[in-house]
Amino acid sequence: MYTTELNDKNKKPAVTPLSAEDPEKLAAFEARVAADDFIEPKDWMPEAYRKTLIRQISQHAHSEIVGMLPEGNWITRAPSLRRKQVLLAKVQDEGGHGLYLYAAAETLGTSRDEMIEALHSGRAKYSTIFNYPTLTWADIGAIGWLVDGAAIMNQVPLQRTSYGPYARAMVRICKEESFHQRQGYEIMMTLAAGSPEQKRMAQDALDRWWWPSLMMFGPPDDNSPNSAQSIRWRIKRETNDQLRQKFVDVTVPQAEAIGLKVPDPDLQWSEERGSYDFGAVDWEEFYAVVRGEGPVAKERMQARVSAWEDGRWVREAALAHAEKRRGARMAAE
Amino acid sequence: MTMSKEWPLWEVFVRAKNGLSHRHVGSVHAADEKMAIEAARDTYKRRMEGISLWVVPSAAITASDPGEAEALFAPAVDKVYRHPTFYSIPEHIKNI
């Protein structure tokens, strides 16, 4: 899965500005990044690079973890044992992806607890897509196909991102992501070839998930203030609009192949551009969801916070047990 | 939210198959070494990525300082005589 770029447009960053960095070190850093060299945890880096990465990687991690909720909702109601097995494995993968990413962010000097606290208090964001409900089984198909499909579009270029631990996490994630998309498409394909009611269900899921999936690529380029710097630093490798277009171009034929219709009256193939023209995204809705007004935003955070609070005694007991054993071992030596 | 103590961090190494060395793949949080092995299995080995795991407390690792990379590694660059190509041997001498 993937997180959208969720900068608060009005927030001023409280970070050493680039102009206050040691110019010699900064120049050497910029040159290394420009030459596609990797930056590793102990290397010198500008504070703004560190902060931007912590924000981006932790938001990405939070998205993976919160992303387990809408799909977890259907594990007990999967229509067959095969589907249930697959969905369990997929949701477990999402948990794994979150953990790779938290570990990558920790190499930048933040802690796991700090990141979780930021998520629970609402300071950190996660992908807006997970604030929509999963109403029917077809939504599980649509999520795998569209949401994971959009994620792959975003993540493949990030395998070459400049920060070594992030790039390595992305390599692992991309390897696992393709199964997610294929299992989702297979669900849609099966429903689309089923009874008229099943086909309607598939179409309804596509209708509801199409636009939120396009929003996953983040605001349009002319409204994405940090894009240029992130691209220069190889934290981002293609712009939001470029990725969105790529996604539309590969996904539309996939919908057509199984007899489903993309819910966009303005969608049409442009001979001239060799791409699809498509309608305008409702950015007001996007910003409302970013502000936490998504249909199930509150439920998502409640579920995360109670999982964390309910698990507290387990974390504390495990630690106490480990300390006790260590004490006993030392006494025996 | 009140903060309690975090579980310590462990670095995870995986041997893909016998004959290869263990390779660093990432890290996990765990209360002790047994949990660390289990967490590493669940996190890094869901698809037959290996047949053996090591977990090492991250705090036990001492790393070289990138700022001293030159002092540490540059002298090796001067010592070209450590490479076989430094020595010229006539063409007609074989098996050397």
Of A106, A172, A325, which has the smallest distance from its Cβ to B32's Cβ? A325
pLDDT band (50, 70, 90) for residue B80? confident
- Decide if B31 and A322 are in contact by the 8 Å CB cutoff: yes
Query: pLDDT at residue A35 above 90?
Result: yes
Q: What is the pLDDT of residue B54?
A: 97
Q: Tell me the nearest-neighbour CA distance from B48 into chain A, angstroms.
A: 12
Nearest C-alpha neighbor of A184 from the set A147, A156, A229: A147
pLDDT at B77: 75
B1 in reach of chain A (CB within 8 A): yes
Closest CA to A107 of A176, A57, A48, A65: A57
Supply the pLDDT for residue A14: 59
State chain B's mean pLDDT as an integer: 90
- What mean pLDDT is reported for chain A? 92
Q: What is the mean pLDDT of residues A68-81?
A: 96
pLDDT value at position A158?
Answer: 94
Tens of pLDDT, residue by residue over A322-332, are: 999 989 988 98
With a cut of 50, say whether residue B33 has pLDDT above it. yes
Q: Residues A137-146: what's their mean pLDDT?
A: 98
**Chain B environment of A89 (Cβ under 8 Å):** 46
Contact at CB, A321 and B3, closer than 8 angstroms: no
CB–CB contact B26 A111 (8 Å): no
Rounded average pLDDT over A135-156: 96
* ipTM field: 0.84
Compute, in degrees rounded to 10, the torsion defined by CA atoms B27, B32, B36, B42: -130
A174 touches chain B (CB under 8 A): no
Residues of B in contact with A319 (CB under 8 A): 5, 7, 31
Q: Kindly give, in sequence order, each residue whose CB lies less than 8 Å from that of residue A288, ignoring residues fewer than 6 positions away.
A: A294
Query: Residue B1: helix, strand or coil by DSSP?
Result: coil
- Helix (H/G/I), strand (E/B), else coil: B42: helix
Lowest mean pLDDT segment, chosen from A89-98, A250-259, A287-296, B24-33: A287-296
Under the banding of pLDDT at 50, 70 and 90, the label for residue A17 is: confident
Would you tell me which residues 72-91 of chain B have a C-beta closer than 8 angstroms to some C-beta of chain A? Answer: none
Q: Which helix (H) or strand (E) holds B72?
A: helix B69-78
Test B1 with A43 for CB contact under 8 angstroms: no
**What are A295-309's pLDDT values in tens digits?**
899 999 999 999 999
For range A57-84, the mean pLDDT: 96
Q: Is the pLDDT of residue A7 over 70?
A: no
Q: Does A322 touch chain B (CB under 8 A)?
A: yes
B68 and chain A: CB distance < 8 Å anywhere?
A: no
> Cβ distance A109 to A53 under 8 Å?
no
B67 in contact with A at a CB cutoff of 8 Å? yes
Q: Dihedrals φ, ψ of B27, to 5°? A: -145, 165
Q: Give B-chain residues touching A100 at CB under 8 angstroms.
A: 26, 43
Q: How far is the C-alpha of A260 from the C-alpha of A135, rounded, in Å? A: 19
pLDDT in tens, A241-296: 999 999 999 999 999 999 999 999 999 999 999 999 999 999 999 999 888 888 89
The reply to whether residue A40 touches residue B35, judged by beta carbons under 8 angstroms, is no
CA distance B58 to B13: 12
The 10s digit of each residue's pLDDT in A158-208 is: 999 999 999 999 999 999 988 999 999 999 999 999 999 999 999 999 999
